[in-house]
Amino acid sequence: MICVSIGRGRHRHMIAEFRHLVDEGAQLVELRLDYINGEVNLKRLLNDRPCPVIVTCRREQDGGMWKGSEKSRQLLLRTAVAEGVEYVDLEEDIAAEIPRFGTTKRIISHHDFAATPGNLDEIHRRLCRLDPDIVKIATMANHWHDNVRILRLIDQSEIPTVGMCMGEIGTPSRILAARLGVPFTYATFHHERALAPGQLSFSQMTNVYNYNMIRPDTEVFGVIADPIGHSLSPLIHNAAFQHFKMNRVYLSFRIPREDLLEFLTDAPDLGVRGISVTIPHKEAVIRHLTKIDGAVLGIGAANTVIFESDKSIAYNTDYRAAMNSFDQTMGIVPGSKQALSSKTALVLGAGGVAKALVFGLKRRGATVVIASRTESRAVELAKQFECQTTTWERRHTVKCDVLINGTPVGMHPNVDETPFEQHHLRPNMIVFDTVYNPEQTLLVKQAREKRCKVISGVDMFVNQAALQFKLFTNQEAPIELMREQIKRATGAAKL
Ligand code: NAP
């Protein structure tokens, strides 16, 4: 079950959000009395309530907004109990002051906004001694493994425990706890109004992660990155899983560089069966895996890992997707090795995507010239794959049949930028922009105007996600559904 927290300054707004949430399917709502400006009118909030509530009134020291006296806060909580609210949230130090009464269930809570402390078990034992119906522990995750510690605590507890890590690193714990049968998890009314760091909205929890369908045997997938940003992968993979009614969920894991090995070690025990890998882990991940496919070895980077019994296997679907997109546009028979032997390709950028593309272009026999803002990276990449280089400033002088943008230039929000001036584009040139947000980058628009053949980043993104889906599930992906999801998320559907 999802408990949606509402914190509004005015009673009217709180009641309106409460009713709206119930219309949207919420079954439990937390009323954060500390957000109300001025005197709290409990009766007004509780009368005719459309679903059960948790009444919470947090002090500033516990991350709340309460400005009144401690005496009046406790009076409010006692009154809520006397009014017969379904749950009341009591911090450890006041639990003994608010006696059990009637049918109200007691949530005894502990918050730590700085860290997940070493003595988590001891804190939990203390809370369990305070006559709880439910224990709640929310701590800040500074390392990936903090999530695992909280999840183990939930798993081992005899008293129902709602445990979660806060912060972006801790967000997965809010969803993974469902596999352990937690009584509920917390979500916020709107994703831009989180009441605790790392909280997801009710809509994200239900529409993207399908939280209420997560069970102990739900298989877990996800993307690992740092920063995690607004990755589109959860949107498209979860939509595909839900399309086939699969018992699977796909999460965003923010994994700092130094936590990578620990994550890979922990993952199988948490039910993780496969991951997408992105910046900054694509290269580092390889040395921790048991099996590596040929393309990963050649490129030196992986973007997909599958966990299979005691094996972890690396793949690179970026490379295959880029080449599939290429073959479709060029009419190349898949797998033909020298199809580009008479072509010159100019690759802009020398990062992960450029590397995958250079590997594929060389395999198809193309002459490749690399231009990168940081010249030494271009030189290094060229050495690895026997390519030529030019400086970033002289990139327009290269006579090329294929132009590839492997830089983020043109990506949202810098949509007025292009990495290549339009008057150097020629009709029938193949222009491949790997940027997918937006799909219609300035480079793509200008290339179309010049009657170039265009491959968009969305083509590649959908292709690579579809290949990952196949690796994750052994089934063909619903490609059109995935494409629609990306277009809707990036606003391209409106174009
Ligand atoms: P990366 O490893 O960080 O490499 C980025 C490359 O772009 C580097 O060579 C960097 O040069 C260069 N660059 C960055 N900002 C630049 C600027 N303002 N002007 C000129 N060059 C610049 O990143 P990546 O993983 O290769 O990703 C690059 C882009 O590919 C992403 O932004 C994304 O849009 C796209 N991508 C698309 C897909 C897809 O499926 N369509 C998948 C992955 C990535 P320096 O070394 O000088 O920083």
Model pLDDT, residue 209: 96
Measure the CA–CA gap between 155 and 8, rounded to whole angstroms: 34
The residue contributing the CA closest to ligand 1 atom 4 is 351
Q: Which whole number is the average pLDDT over 394-405?
A: 96
pLDDT > 70 fraction of the chain, expressed in percent and rounded: 98
**DSSP conformational letter for 208:** I
Mean pLDDT on 21-32? 94
pLDDT tens-digit map of 192-230: 676 777 889 999 999 999 999 999 999 999 999 999 877
pLDDT of residue 158: 94
Query: Residue 491: what pLDDT?
Result: 72
Residue 248: phi and psi, rounded to 5, are: -140, 150
Condensed to tens digits (0 to 9), the pLDDT of residues 163-175 reads 999 999 999 999 9
CB 229 within 8 A of CB 252: no
pLDDT tier at 493, thresholds 50, 70, 90: very low
Which residues neighbour 367 within 8 Å (Cβ) at sequence distance 6 or greater?
Answer: 343, 344, 345, 388
372 close to 397: Cβ distance less than 8 angstroms: no
| Residue 373 CA, closest ligand 1 atom number | 47
155 in active site: no
Instruction: Please identify, by atom number, the ligand 1 atom nearest to the C-alpha of residue 408.
Output: 32
> What's the pLDDT at 335?
67
Handedness of CA 19, 21, 26, 28 (dihedral sign): negative
Report pLDDT digits (tens) over 117-145: 999 999 999 999 999 999 999 999 999 99
Considering the entire predicted model, what is its pTM? 0.91
> 110, 111, 281, 445: which one is catalytic?
111
Given the residues 110, 124, 237, 282, the one annotated as active site: 282
pLDDT in tens, 324-342: 888 888 787 776 777 788 8
Task: Report the b/e string of 441-453 with b at 16+ CB within 10 A.
Answer: bbbbbbbeebebe
What pLDDT digit, counting tens, does each position of 472-483 carry?
999 999 999 999
Q: Give the tens place of pLDDT for each residue, 93-111.
A: 999 999 999 999 999 999 9
Say if CB 90 and CB 73 are below 8 A apart.
Answer: no
Q: Does residue 372 register a pLDDT over 90? A: yes
Angle of CA points 312, 314, 173, to nearest 5°: 60
282 in catalytic set: yes
Contacting residues for 49 by C-beta, under 8 A, at least 6 apart:
18
CA 435 to ligand 1 center in whole angstroms: 8
Which CA distances in Å does 477 have to 240, 427, 483?
7, 34, 11
| Beta partners for residue 55, in sequence order | 31, 88
Amino acid 198: pLDDT:
84
Q: In terms of pLDDT, which residue wins out, 155 or 437?
A: 155
Indicate if the pLDDT at residue 494 is higher than 70. Answer: no
* pLDDT in the model for residue 315: 95
Distance 461 CA to ligand 1 centre (A): 14
Per the prediction, the chain carries an average pLDDT of 93
Reported as a single tens digit per residue, the pLDDT across 232-274 is: 899 999 999 999 999 999 999 999 999 999 999 999 999 999 9
